[in-house]
Amino acid sequence: MSPAARRLPAVLACVIALAGAVPLAVAQEKAGDAPILEMTFEETETVPGQPLTLRLTVYVPTYLPRPPVWPSLEAPNLLVRLPERSTGPVSKPIDGATWAGVSRRYLISPMVPGTFSLPPQEVMVTYADPETNQPAQAALSTGAITFRGVVPEGAEGLEPFLAATSLSLDQEVEGEPGSMKPGDSVTRTVTARIAGASSMFVPDLLPDAVVPGVAAYPAEPVTTDRDERGTLSGARTERVTYVAEGGGSGEAPAVSLDWYNLESGRIETASVGGFPIAVDGPPAGHETPRDWRAIVLAAGAAVLAFGLVAVAAARLAPRIRRRLAARRADRLASEAHAFGMLRAVVARHDAPAVHGALDLWAERLEGADPRTRPDVSAALTAIGAARYGRHGVADEPAAWRALSQALDAARRDAHRRRPASALPPLNPGAAVVPTPTARPEAI
């Protein structure tokens, strides 16, 4: 077979050889018919989070029966990615003949300021030997790569440093945080949308909110990125659920994020406001304290009326203790307490515990069984499909949100259909003080 005929399938072979891996860099001298590795790395300084372009190209005198094995550029504090259509066939005239090759483009972004150095690495090339047309291998060495991440002037005080072409914060609050009752819940969702950088550069958004009587259950952050012709954009979403356990008040703090605008060259701030949280009810774990003054007065009255202080005190103490224990047992056995436990399980996405908590609440809820509601059943089925399904097509966070909304609706419907009860006591918070039994006056 003539040399021209052997080189005829070179371009088609290169197209087939575009499979993939990761790259590195610098030109290599030609030695006869040995493969050549060229590297192009024009810019060596960038803002943290913005990419530098590195291109590696392998040339062979014949064709490539297998794609090259590219070295990895992964290193601490570096983001290395392959843009769309990063690898493609190339050709080049060398000594009067056309050599075929494969070129690959990488985008390297330093994640922090500083100097980075990547040592030489090996590129393994499999090509057709010009003499025998049999597969042969050559190990080509890349040169060292050094570059820097530099913070622009005026942005040195940003901590952490974040550069983008646009950045915005959005907030969604589900529930009524200013008028909660024990067992109620509020979900806060904050989303940062960024363009010109990856969402992994966005720091944590939601600070801890310490509110008496309120438990916070944060969900795992969700990040998404999109690459359009080498330009990154993405979003980071954080969610926390506040569950009211007892009376108290406080505030969910505002969220703000300073960032450097690559287009305007200025530091800007994206922010969303906070909101007050208030729970109407006794503090969590509260038990009515004993009114010792009232007890002493009652004991004194008993002494004056009957002269039986010791006997009266011995009889009153067990009665008060039983009454306090009964009140606590009533609270633990209430529908509101069971619903609060169920909301806490849903908030922390505890799939193994959700059915037991739902059964307990359903037993204490008057009216229709919430487990028979279609929206509750559908949400539970979606959770099971997301967690245990084979293909993972279901959105588990969305299923948990749907279950939370369905449970709130079921409770509202049940309370709306509850028959009107007798009038409540005029002063339910007053302490019970025993008084002497009055004798009826003689007529």
| Structural domains of the chain, with CATH | 3-149 (no CATH), 163-279 (2.60.40), 292-332 (no CATH), 335-415 (no CATH)
pLDDT single digits (tens) 100-113: 999 998 899 999 99
Confidence (pLDDT) at 353: 87
Confidence of residue 435 (pLDDT cuts 50, 70, 90): very low
Q: Per-residue pLDDT for 31 more than 70?
A: no
Identify the residue with better confidence: 12 or 30: 30
Confidence (pLDDT) at 47: 93
Q: Per-residue pLDDT for 333 more than 70?
A: yes
Confidence (pLDDT) at 438: 39
pLDDT single digits (tens) 282-321: 876 544 455 657 766 776 676 676 666 566 666 777 777 7
Confidence (pLDDT) at 443: 28
Contacts of residue 292, defined as CB under 8 A and 6 or more positions apart, other chains included, come to none
Average pLDDT of every residue of the chain: 81
Confidence (pLDDT) at 314: 67
For the whole prediction, is pTM greater than 0.85? no
Q: Per-residue pLDDT for 253 more than 60?
A: yes
Q: Which residues pair with 30 in a beta bridge?
A: none
Identify the residue with better confidence: 303 or 221: 221
Among 246, 185, 78, CA closest to 405: 185
Q: Per-residue pLDDT for 441 more than 70?
A: no
Mean pLDDT value across residues 416-440: 49
Confidence (pLDDT) at 299: 66
Confidence of residue 24 (pLDDT cuts 50, 70, 90): very low
Structure tokens at 107: 């985008």
Confidence (pLDDT) at 433: 41
Q: Per-residue pLDDT for 196 more than 60?
A: yes
Exposed e or buried b per residue across 136-167, where buried means at least 16 C-beta atoms within 10 angstroms of its C-beta: bebebebbebebebebbeebeebeebbbbbbb
Identify the residue with better confidence: 27 or 168: 168
pLDDT single digits (tens) 371-413: 888 998 888 888 888 877 665 556 888 888 999 998 998 888 8
Exposed e or buried b per residue across 3-36, where buried means at least 16 C-beta atoms within 10 angstroms of its C-beta: eeebbeebeebbeebbeeebbbbbebeeeebbbb
Confidence of residue 27 (pLDDT cuts 50, 70, 90): very low
Q: Per-residue pLDDT for 424 more than 60?
A: no
Compute, in degrees rounded to 10, the torsion defined by CA atoms 353, 354, 356, 362: 160
Report the percentage of the chain scoring pLDDT > 70: 80
Q: Per-residue pLDDT for 5 more than 70?
A: no
